[in-house]
């Protein structure tokens, strides 16, 4: 699950997820207001001379449009990639609130972040099971038919849990609460000045004089891990992965005024994020596979097949740990900071 190239708003993790098990029940219709939703542009088109809050509004409007475009596909349930793409859009909106949120009234920021957190959690619950199923299906495809049969209890359990979480997600997307949230949020995203905090005279209020410090802070949050990575445990590496996401999103939000340097700056962050993401996914899959073995009665053949899968995952986690330096060094290098400085100087 890697990203081979960086384009405007690239996917978070490239993957070919197996289609989920279908549900016999017809999903409810979405309760999203039957109005024309924001059009999806190629990029948010943030400019250096944009007011801080209005730059944030551009980013929020862009990813809101991308999120809403995926709702019908998520409800239909025919392509797991729809859930992934909708989750990416929701996550980027939450990141945009983290970056630009101080430009808006606190109550508006809290309300919209709370709703996005709820939607994102439901999407994440489904997406996480998609990833687990994918890991298991890929592994099984490389094993004998006998071993695949032994893995069936684990595959069935994860698919059943995935379907239960999908039903919960679809119900939420078809609720009046979601419809009211979207109606209110679209008004906010489409109305310049709405809920924006007034900027005092001579205070920095433009992208060009607010974003440099924001970018450096995002980079510093990543670079701060450098001294501890030699002995870092998986929990620490997961925190690094989160910090890397914020750096990536921050750079992506102002891609246009930072080019041509920024694409080259984002690429190693994506590589780091993918590397740590693969390691985390395999670690979690191993933990959950072990849980099944202690909570379910298995035949000897099933227990042996699942144990081999767990060993395979543990070895993958260790292998990725040994190879971590190759993805970290480009970001910790002084050349990266020089490139970051050149990009910021364009604002």
Answer yes or no: is 173 within a domain.
yes
Answer yes or no: is 8 within a domain.
no
Residues 139, 215 share a domain: no
Contacts of residues 302-308 at CB distance under 8 Å and 24 or more positions apart, as own/partner, are 302/150, 302/151, 302/152, 302/153, 304/150, 305/143, 305/147, 305/148, 305/149, 305/150, 305/151, 306/150, 306/151, 306/153, 306/154, 308/147
34 in helix, strand or coil?
coil
Which helix H or strand E contains 332, and what residues bound it?
Answer: helix 324-332
Query: Which among 158, 175, 197 is the end of a domain?
Result: 197
Contact of 116 with 90, CB cutoff 8 Å: yes
Residues 220, 131 share a domain: no
Low-confidence ranges of the chain (pLDDT < 70): 1-39
Can you give the pLDDT at residue 30?
46
Can you give the pLDDT at residue 39?
66
Q: Which two tokens stand for residue 139?
A: 């592994």
The string of pLDDT tens digits covering residues 199-252 is: 999 999 999 999 999 999 999 999 999 998 888 999 999 999 999 999 999 999
How confident is the prediction for the chain on average, in pLDDT? 90
Answer yes or no: is 23 within a domain.
no
For residue 162, the domain's CATH number is 1.40.20.10
Residues 174, 229 share a domain: no
Find where tokens 């994020």 sit. Answer: 273
Residues 244, 320 share a domain: yes
Buried b (16+ CB within 10 A) or exposed e, 150-174: bbebbbebbbebbbebbbebbebbb
Residues 210, 191 share a domain: no
Can you give the pLDDT at residue 294?
78
Query: Which among 143, 162, 197 is the end of a domain?
Result: 197
- How many domains does the chain contain in total? 2
195 in helix, strand or coil?
coil
Q: Which residues contact 15 (CB under 8 A, 6 or more apart)?
A: 1, 84, 131, 134
pTM of the model: 0.86
Answer yes or no: is 54 within a domain.
yes
Can you give the pLDDT at residue 42?
81
Name the residue range of residue 281's domain. Answer: 206-347
Answer yes or no: is 7 within a domain.
no
Answer yes or no: is 6 within a domain.
no
Q: Which residues contact 49 (CB under 8 A, 6 or more apart)?
A: 206, 207, 208
Residues 212, 340 share a domain: yes
């Amino acid at each position: 699950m890697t990203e081979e190239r960086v384009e405007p708003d690239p996917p978070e993790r490239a993957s070919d997820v197996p289609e989920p098990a279908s549900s016999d029940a017809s999903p409810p219709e979405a309760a999203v207001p039957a109005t024309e939703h924001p059009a999806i542009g190629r990029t948010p088109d943030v400019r250096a001379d944009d007011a801080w809050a209005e730059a944030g509004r551009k980013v929020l409007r862009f990813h809101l449009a991308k999120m809403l475009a995926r709702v019908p596909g998520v409800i239909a349930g025919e392509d797991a990639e729809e859930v992934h793409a909708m989750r990416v859009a929701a996550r980027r909106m939450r990141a945009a609130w983290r970056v630009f949120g101080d430009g808006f009234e606190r109550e508006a920021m809290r309300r919209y972040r709370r709703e996005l957190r709820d939607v994102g959690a439901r999407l994440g619950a489904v997406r996480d099971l998609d990833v687990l199923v994918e890991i298991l299906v890929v592994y099984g495809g490389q094993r004998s038919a006998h071993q695949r049969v032994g893995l069936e209890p684990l595959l069935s359990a994860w698919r059943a849990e995935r379907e239960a979480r999908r039903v919960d997600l679809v119900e939420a997307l078809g609720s009046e609460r979601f419809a009211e949230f979207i109606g209110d949020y679209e008004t906010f995203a489409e109305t310049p000045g709405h809920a924006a905090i007034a900027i005092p005279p001579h205070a920095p209020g433009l992208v060009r004089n607010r974003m440099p410090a924001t970018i450096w802070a995002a980079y510093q949050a990543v670079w701060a891990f450098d001294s501890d990575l030699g002995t870092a445990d998986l929990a620490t590496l997961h925190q690094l992965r989160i910090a890397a996401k914020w750096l990536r999103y921050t750079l992506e939000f102002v891609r246009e005024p930072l080019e041509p340097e920024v694409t080259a700056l984002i690429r190693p962050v994506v590589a780091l994020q993918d590397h740590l993401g693969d390691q985390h996914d395999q670690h979690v899959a191993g933990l959950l596979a072990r849980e099944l073995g202690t909570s379910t009665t298995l035949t000897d053949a099933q227990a042996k097949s699942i144990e081999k899968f767990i060993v395979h995952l543990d070895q993958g986690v260790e292998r990725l740990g040994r190879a971590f330096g190759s993805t970290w060094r480009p970001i910790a290098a002084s050349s990266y900071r020089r490139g970051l400085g050149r990009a910021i100087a364009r604002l």
